[in-house]
Amino acid sequence: MSDANIENLLHEDRLFPPSAEFAAHAVGTQALYDEADEDYVGYWMRQATERVSWFKEPTQTLDDSNAPFFKWFADGELNVSYNCLDRHLENGGEKVAYHFVGEPGDTRTVTYQDLADEVNRFANGLKSLGVKKGDQVAIYMGMVPELAIAMLACARIGAPHSVIFGGFSADAIVDRVEDSQAKMLITCDGAWRRGTIVPLKDNCDIAMDRAESLEHCVVVRRTDHGVAMTEGRDVWWHDLVDGQSAVCEPEVMNAEDLLYLLYTSGTTAKPKGIMHTTGGYLTGAATTHALVFDIKPDDVYWCAADIGWVTGHSYIVYGPLANHTTGVMYEGTPDFPDKDRLWSIIDEYGVTIFYTAPTAIRAFMKWGAQYPEAHDLSSLRLLGTVGEPINPEAWMWYHLNIGAEKCPIVDTWWQTETGGIMISPLPGVTATKPGSATKAIPGITAEVVDSDGNPVPLGSGGFLAITKPWPSMLRSIYGDDERYVNTYWSTYPGVYFPGDGAKIDSDGYLWVLGRVDDVMNISGHRISTMEVESALVSHPAVAEAAVVGVTDDLTGQAIAAFVTLRGGFEESGALLIELKAHVSTKIGAIARPKSIIFTPDLPKTRSGKIMRRLLRDISDERILGDVTTLANAVVVEAIAEQARTKADRD
């Protein structure tokens, strides 16, 4: 992040207080901050007992005896699917859980009763294939109701799931499955995306052959384009649930039992299996969903993320269902068949709360206000954003063109690891500033610290730090406690280090500036430089590769790659295209480099570390700094020259 950006943010002084009317009826109040300030553990305990139904109520609250391996509510017993389904049925089974909208235009209304029946049947189906409590299940699907059903069925029988984003490649499935040792893979034949079919089952076939732990593949029929089914190994979802009973007793789970793994990028090539457990996670997801989104019984709530990311886990599935909310689930892209698709869905279903990412908002801006203007968006009363810092211009555009200047905007900062929203306005309390996620929510303590871990004075920048444990925090990295401690708890002892830079302004508002490690943020999704570099180096023509995230108007950051070829390989336009495609195959289209520059060597420190900062400067066309500490200073000039001629060509 350049100094100029920091300056810009500092000078943002527009303030948007909630209207008196919104404040008067808000779910989240000042009293919650006061209560949590007084006793944050007691505050979370109250949320846990009031928002969650326990088979056995916990008597223990926070257990910090083995920090940073914290436990919450450790003697409590519950089942997450019971909380999301069963307890709502007596008086609310007819309430809509999801208005599903398929990309081709098909729709489905799924009530809580429908969802419960499907989950029970599928849970029995899983059992019939030998899945037991504690077995790992991988899920690789498009955005269809069966994805939520599969997750809830796993939760029901106590089998931790790991959802793999449907845009990832077969290799990414194999990496994750080999780490989790999943014995079952659940997928769809295909997914609809901009009118074409994403061949999910084909990718699964590759993974089924390579990942030895996998025994069965269950396939939802969605695109019906004809896929190969291997006898004895692959099972159609509809055949599996056919004849199954709609009663499957929920497994009694301990609060600290694993609910799911979700893999995320770190600074090495190996993705981290972030571990979320049962009681604390559900408490966090339900509480933050209710307070930050101001959830009322009649709301039609739409989180337009993909369930393959943590946002979908916490704010399409677990939080909203625990709160008995009606939601929208949309399968496709915002520009299919035209760029007004989302606005037409808001209009049709009377959506009241809408949650999306800055990268989407920037695309809406680019497309123009005529698309939202063509629809009645007056049902909206609250907007949210997540995934990366939102530029104040994009915030204002959202406020004016989607929120009609009346909807509060909640800019929510959190991570896969935090399980739920950490820094955000409470919409009935906090006066918002465009571009700032404002302050930590009740029960969370966030500070900006210097390199020694001391809080910086108001008006300065440093590193974001979370100074107290919280219920929905990750418990560890699957199979790698040491990496958990090193990554998150070693920078400042006793303090959680998220890896983001931040500023605190003179009013104590937080401005998150982005990652300080080698993790890029592409369209709000974390991709590690190492993963893309490893993918490039796995191509036979590549000797060495370095990758950096560079500023991009639409996606926030885009990937710029620098590649040194092996002897005997020639630079060519064809090879360039091949390398980009290779990364797509290895990781997924999201990680495809936007630019590749061939270079005879890479700039390195004397200890041999690639100087990504320098490459970033070159890519952002900044003036080069002092390079005399480089082992191979001359190469920098060569690369810069390459980059300049490339820019000329573009």
Among 415, 476, 487, 528, binds ligand WTA (CB under 6 A): 415
Nearest CA-CA partner of 43 in 29, 55, 25? 29
- Binding of ligand WTA at residue 514 (CB under 6 A)? yes
- Among candidates 252, 256, 318, which has minimal Cα distance to 51? 318
Please, what is the minimum distance in Å from the beta carbon of residue 4 to ligand WTA? 18
Please work out, in degrees rounded to the nearest 5, the angle formed at the alpha carbon of residue 16 by the alpha carbons of 13 and 22: 165
Residue with tokens 């606005």: 343
Among 88, 324, 339, 526, binds ligand WTA (CB under 6 A): 526
- Would you state the structure tokens that stand for residue 631, as one six-digit string? 């082992």
Residue pair 279/58 in contact (Cβ under 8 Å)? The answer is: yes
Among 414, 484, 492, 509, binds ligand WTA (CB under 6 A): 414
- Among residues 512, 575, 615, 643, the one that binds ligand WTA under rule CB under 6 A: 512
469-488 residues in contact with ligand WTA (CB under 6 A) are: none
311 or 472, CB closer to ligand WTA? 311
Residue nearest to ligand WTA (CB): 416
487-495 LR contacts (CB < 8 Å, sep 24+): 487/266, 487/267, 487/272, 488/68, 488/417, 489/68, 491/453, 491/463, 492/449, 492/453, 492/465, 493/453, 494/67, 494/68, 495/449, 495/453, 495/465, 495/466, 495/467
- Alpha-carbon gap, residue 515 to 267, rounded angstroms: 11
Q: Is 283 or 528 the residue whose CB approaches ligand WTA more closely?
A: 528
Residue nearer to ligand WTA on the CB measure, 124 or 385: 385
Site string for ligand WTA, 377-406 (x = CB under 6 A): ---------xxxx-----------------
Is residue 191 within 8 Å of residue 200, measured between CB atoms? yes
Contacts of ligand WTA in 195-234 (CB under 6 A): none
Among 315, 343, 349, 413, binds ligand WTA (CB under 6 A): 413
* By CB under 6 A, residue 436 contacts ligand WTA: no
Which span sits near ligand WTA by CB under 6 A: 218-226, 407-415, 600-608, 632-640?
A: 407-415
Integer-rounded Cα radius of gyration of the chain:
24
* 272 within 8 A of 481, measured Cβ to Cβ: no
Q: Which is nearer to ligand WTA, 317 or 386 (CB)?
A: 386
Residues 246 to 275 in contact with ligand WTA, rule: CB under 6 A: 264
Residue type, 416: T
Output the CA torsion 544→545→546→547 (10° steps).
-170
Q: 82 or 260: whose CB is closer to ligand WTA?
A: 260
Minimum distance, C-beta of residue 532 to ligand WTA, in the bound complex (Å): 16
Q: Which one of 61, 180, 254, 412 is in contact with ligand WTA (CB under 6 A)? A: 412
The SS3 of residue 62 is strand
Which one of 27-35, 75-83, 198-206, 494-502 is the stretch in contact with ligand WTA (CB under 6 A)?
Answer: 494-502
Q: How far is CA 583 from CA 54, 146, 552, 588, 592, in A?
A: 46, 29, 19, 7, 6
Least CB distance to ligand WTA at residue 143 (A): 17
Nearer to ligand WTA, 123 or 361 (CB): 361
Pairing of strands 253-254, 77-78: antiparallel
Taking the complex as a whole, how short is the minimal distance between the CB of residue 440 and ligand WTA, in angstroms? 13
What is the rounded distance in angstroms from the CA atom of residue 644 to the CA atom of residue 650?
Answer: 10
The residues that touch ligand WTA, with contacts defined as CB under 6 A, are 264, 309-311, 386-389, 411-416, 437, 498-500, 512, 514-515, 521, 525-526
